[in-house]
Each structure stands twice: as structure tokens, then as C-alpha cells.
């Protein structure tokens, strides 16, 4: 099953959001649309998209406030796409936590390149863990290819669901470190999911059945009881 990155477009001008949506869909992304800041925040917290494209001139709130609200709980990439060209606006957006700033009008090739770069930087594995420079994580018979969104065991695709892939990718990027249940839930399902460990346990059980030779004695993903999960260090 193909795993497609989900991108949220926050833009009140429907002609622009429609154009951007068509471009992204044609290039293999799933798209969410929001025309107000309130709708955008609801979608961010419920869907946890791979990236947010944010116009600053929204009808209900200023986009700067939305950047601050998102940064209170997640580091998901935010690219501002705005008609504001003043340097002070760019500086403020970047200081608040935006990852990039594109001024309108923009070229589609530039937009797509900025999106790829922002997502790649977010997903780059930590230095020193499993062939980071090659965009893959390897540990024993397990390989994760970040560019192709594939997880292989002994060279065979194990066909993870989108949520299962996101969990494994998150853990491999922090291989050797314990990620707490609350941190993982918040990053994957939004702040309202904190404390609901059952959804995480169900997904983890399915992952282990697919990647572990013996799920009861895991080689790759370890449970730190009462705390969270830890991925084995890469080769």
C-alpha cells in the first residue's frame, strides 16, 4: 500500500487553495484544506499532517498566532506562503517557529522543492544511526527507506499502514532513545490523544507481528515499561 504524505493548506482565497491542492495531489500528496485559523487548528490536532502550508492573512486570526499555537505541542513543518513581503514579517514568522517562508506569487517547482526539503529535514534520522546519510535505517534484517516510505524485513515489504509506518519512522529517527507514550501520542494523533495509550499499544502489537520474528522477544522495538518505546540502534 502506498503511503502518501498529508499536507494541510491553510488559505482563505479558494482559487489559490484549489490551485495548490491540484498541484500537490498531482504530485502524490494527500491534501487537507482549511479556510480559517480555527478550522486549521482543528485539522492540525486531529490529523497531524506531515506539513502545513500557511497563509498569514486569515479571516479570523493572524497566521502568526496559529504558528505559536502549533509550536506549543509539535514540531511539524510549517511553510508560510504569504503576500507579505516585509522583512519584519518573515523574521517574525521564522522566530515563532515557521520552517520556511515563500512569498506570493510563487512557482510550483519552488513550492514542491521547499515541501520536499522541509519534510526531509524532519525525517532525517539522528546522526550516527543506521546509514543516516543514505536516507535509510538498517538494523539486522530490518530496513526503513525514508524516501520511499517502505519498511522491509529481509528485503520484503511488510506493508505497514500509514500510522504504523509513522510510528516506526519516529522511533528509528531517535534510535537508541526512549520516546515516552505521551510524546508519541501527541506527535502522531494530536494533544487530545495524550494519556490514551491503548491506541498506541494496538498499533505496536500489529507492527511487531509484521517485523519481529518473535513478537514476544523483540529484536527491534523495545518496551520501557511505564515509560514508552525504544528502537534498537542502527547498524
For the record, the C-alpha cell of 125 comes out as 534520522
Over pLDDT 70: what percentage of the chain?
Answer: 94
- Judged on CB neighbours under 10 Å (0-12, 13-18, 19+), 56 is buried
Under CATH, which number does the domain 132-231 receive? 1.10.10.10
Sign of CA dihedral 124, 130, 133, 135: negative
Report whether pLDDT(128) > 60.
Answer: no
Beta bridge partners of 231: 221
Strand order in the sheet with 51-54: 30-34, 6-10, 51-54, 78-82, 100-103
The CA–CA distances, whole Å, from 80 to 12, 77, 85, 107, 115 equal 14, 10, 11, 14, 11
The CA–CA distances, whole Å, from 107 to 82, 96, 114, 154 equal 13, 25, 11, 42
pLDDT on residue 2:
66
Beta bridge partners of 230: 178, 222
Q: What is the pLDDT of residues 12-28, one digit of tens each?
A: 999 999 999 999 999 99
Q: What angle do CA 76, 160, 144 make, to 5 degrees?
A: 70
User: In whole angstroms, what separates CA 227 from the centre of its chain?
Assistant: 22
User: Which DSSP state fits 84?
Assistant: -
pLDDT band at 129 (very low <50, low <70, confident <90, very high): very low
pLDDT band at 133 (very low <50, low <70, confident <90, very high): very low
Question: Under a CB-based contact definition with an 8 Å cutoff, are residues 223 and 212 in contact?
Answer: no
Q: Where are the domains of the chain?
A: 6-123, 132-231
Beta bridge partners of 30: 6
The domain covering 6-123 belongs, at the CATH homologous superfamily level, to: Response regulator (3.40.50.2300)
Specify the higher pLDDT residue, 220 or 120. 220
Q: What is the pLDDT of residues 165-218, one digit of tens each?
A: 999 999 998 888 899 898 899 888 888 777 788 989 999 999 999 999 999 999
Amino acid at each position: 500500500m502506498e503511503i502518501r504524505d498529508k499536507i494541510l493548506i491553510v488559505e482563505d482565497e479558494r482559487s489559490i487553495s484549489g490551485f495548490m491542492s491540484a498541484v500537490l495531489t498531482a504530485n502524490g500528496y494527500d491534501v487537507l484544506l482549511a479556510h480559517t485559523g480555527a478550522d486549521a487548528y482543528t485539522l492540525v490536532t486531529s490529523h497531524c499532517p506531515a506539513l502545513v502550508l500557511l497563509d498569514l492573512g486569515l479571516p479570523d486570526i493572524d497566521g502568526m498566532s496559529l504558528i505559536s499555537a502549533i509550536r506549543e505541542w509539535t514540531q511539524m513543518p510549517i511553510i508560510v506562503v504569504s503576500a507579505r513581503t516585509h522583512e519584519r514579517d518573515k523574521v517574525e514568522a521564522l522566530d515563532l517557529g515557521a520552517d520556511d517562508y515563500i512569498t506570493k506569487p510563487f512557482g510550483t517547482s519552488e513550492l514542491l522543492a521547499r515541501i520536499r526539503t522541509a519534510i526531509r529535514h524532519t525525517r532525517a534520522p539522528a546522526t550516527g544511526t543506521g546509514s543516516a546519510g543514505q536516507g535509510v535505517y538498517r538494523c539486522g534484517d530490518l530496513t526503513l527507506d525514508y524516501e520511499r516510505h517502505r519498511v522491509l524485513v529481509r528485503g520484503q515489504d511488510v506493508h505497514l499502514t500509514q500510522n504504523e509506518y509513522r510510528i516506526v519512522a519516529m522511533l528509528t529517527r531517535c534510535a537508541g532513545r526512549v520516546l515516552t507514550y505521551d510524546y508519541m501520542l501527541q506527535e502522531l494523533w494530536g494533544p487530545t490523544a495524550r494519556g490514551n495509550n491503548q491506541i498506541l499499544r494496538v498499533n505496536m502489537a500489529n507492527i511487531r507481528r509484521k517485523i519481529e520474528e518473535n513478537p514476544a522477544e523483540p529484536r527491534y522495538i523495545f518496551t520501557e515499561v511505564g515509560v514508552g518505546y525504544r528502537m534498537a540502534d542502527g547498524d
